[in-house]
Amino acid sequence: MDTQTAAKAPVDPAATLAPPVFNWDPWTIENLTNPYPMHHALRETAPIVWLEKYEMYAVGRHEECKTVLSDHSRFMTSAGTSMQDIRKPGKFRIPSRLQEVDPPKHTQIRSVVNRVMSPLVIRRMREFFETQAAELADSIVAKGTFDGVDEVAEPYVISAFPAAVGVKLERKPALTIAEMRFNQSCPHNELYHKAMKAAEPYLEWFDEACQKHSVVPDSIADLLFQAEDAGELEEGVASNIVRSFVGGGVDSTISAIGHTLHHLARNPDQFALVKGEPKKVRAAFEEGIRMDMPFQYTWRTTTGDTHLGEYRLAADTKVTVLLGSANRDPRHWTDPDRYDINRQTVGNYLGFGVADHQCVGQMIARLEADAILTALVKRAKSLELTEEPAYRPVNQMRMLGRLPLRIVPE
């Protein structure tokens, strides 16, 4: 169904209620570094609420979040998956051709990307990832105490990602650009202005790194440019997608690996399960994402007057989807605040998106995580926190800033 048809769809006659006003501000420093009290309040208020300060709706329960993310006929991405409506004057920016395009155009683009990033292509990266992970894990064991963010997650992903995608990255520029993008999607607050200023020296580097002449030959990025040359993608789409890979695939994987290390260190019984059966590393990673979702927010826009359950929604209005809240919704999960690697998390949580907009890079992220976490678990008798971790406030993300750990070798 196209947007014009959807806009004419009648509101369900049973939808008589206006969503209640929710007065918490999700983007205060306090709520960014500890969002869970706010998530609880949101879920208990109603299935959908009105954020008066931002003039948009918000959903935080699992069922409603999944509905908004899945039904593109009523909740479109083409107005932007950020807080800003990119169709409006003064808000326009070039949309992501993967994330901010609705079917049928999205379907055609995604089919090309899926072919380029086939499971066979991704599996060929395993040996390189495992070699990098083994070298890093050996150095960490030799040190004994380390920072799980600064000395594991960040350097590992920055070294592994270029081999996966074919973009030559430098650590500081790549991380600064990623932080800019994740602050840019939300309110233009102090975090936004600080991140934009920090990124200014690297904008030219970022643009250059994502062009055809800069990527590694025969890499995923190069294959996308080849598809564009063959007419399978419109001009400019390949570089646009590569920019999305760099901007979205670095910090999110760093965040997810960091959270998994944190939960394994905080839950020695769960670490013991993984130690006894290393194949459970994958489950530990997925449960780490469920517990602390890297992408906390995304947005859709109503295509016309519509409804969500018994609540009526106005046309052309943003809907904030709180992914981290959905992943701890007690209506969907038993004991949701407990880290449990035996939980059926995969296919049941909103970790890598849903429906047409599942994360295209999820196989790479899982492979990276599997390699580094397995390497550390195999070499460790135990993993312990030496201090409480510190969180780094980012408008759209749940990010650890510091994760002090001790590894006890076998």
What is the SS3 string spanning 3-34?
Answer: HHHHHCCCCCCCCCECCCECCCCCCCHHHHHC
Judgement on whether residues 193 and 259 belong to the same structural domain of the protein:
yes
43-64 pLDDT tens trace: 999 999 999 999 999 999 999 9
Q: Above 80 in pLDDT, residue 92? A: no
Judgement on whether residues 186 and 62 belong to the same structural domain of the protein:
no
Type of residue numbered 269:
D
133-180 pLDDT tens trace: 999 999 999 999 999 999 999 999 998 887 778 998 889 999 999 999
Q: How confident is the model at residue 23 (pLDDT cuts 50, 70, 90)?
A: very high
Judgement on whether residues 236 and 288 belong to the same structural domain of the protein:
yes
Q: What is the pLDDT of residue 76?
A: 95
Helices (H), 250-361: 251-266, 268-276, 281-291, 323-326
Q: What is the pLDDT of residue 3?
A: 37
Residue 394 has φ and ψ, to the nearest 5°, of -135, 135
337-371 pLDDT tens trace: 999 999 998 888 888 877 666 677 788 899 999 99
Q: What is the pLDDT of residue 357?
A: 64
Judgement on whether residues 218 and 363 belong to the same structural domain of the protein:
yes
Number of domains present in the structure of the chain: 2
Q: Give, as one character, the DSSP assignment of residue 153.
A: I
Judgement on whether residues 134 and 222 belong to the same structural domain of the protein:
yes
Question: Average pLDDT in the 299-311 region?
Answer: 96
Q: What is the pLDDT of residue 142?
A: 96
Question: Average pLDDT in the 185-190 region?
Answer: 94
- Choose between 1 and 312: higher pLDDT: 312
Tell me how crowded residue 188 is: count the other CB atoms within 10 A of its CB.
13
Across the strands, what pairs with 399? 392
Instruction: List the domain range (segments joined by +) for residue 200.
Output: 103-295+351-410
Q: Is residue 341 part of a domain?
A: no
Q: What residue has token string 């394994």?
A: 264
Q: Is residue 320 part of a domain?
A: yes
Cα gap 347→249, rounded to integer Å: 20
Judgement on whether residues 216 and 79 belong to the same structural domain of the protein:
no
Return the minimum-mean-pLDDT range out of 123-127, 177-181, 390-394.
Answer: 123-127
Q: What is the pLDDT of residue 95?
A: 80
Cα gap 231→95, rounded to integer Å: 20
58: three-class secondary structure by DSSP:
strand
Q: Name the burial class of residue 409, with classes exposed (0-12), middle (13-18) and buried (19+) by CB atoms within 10 angstroms of its CB.
A: exposed
Cα gap 15→253, rounded to integer Å: 40
Judgement on whether residues 53 and 197 belong to the same structural domain of the protein:
no
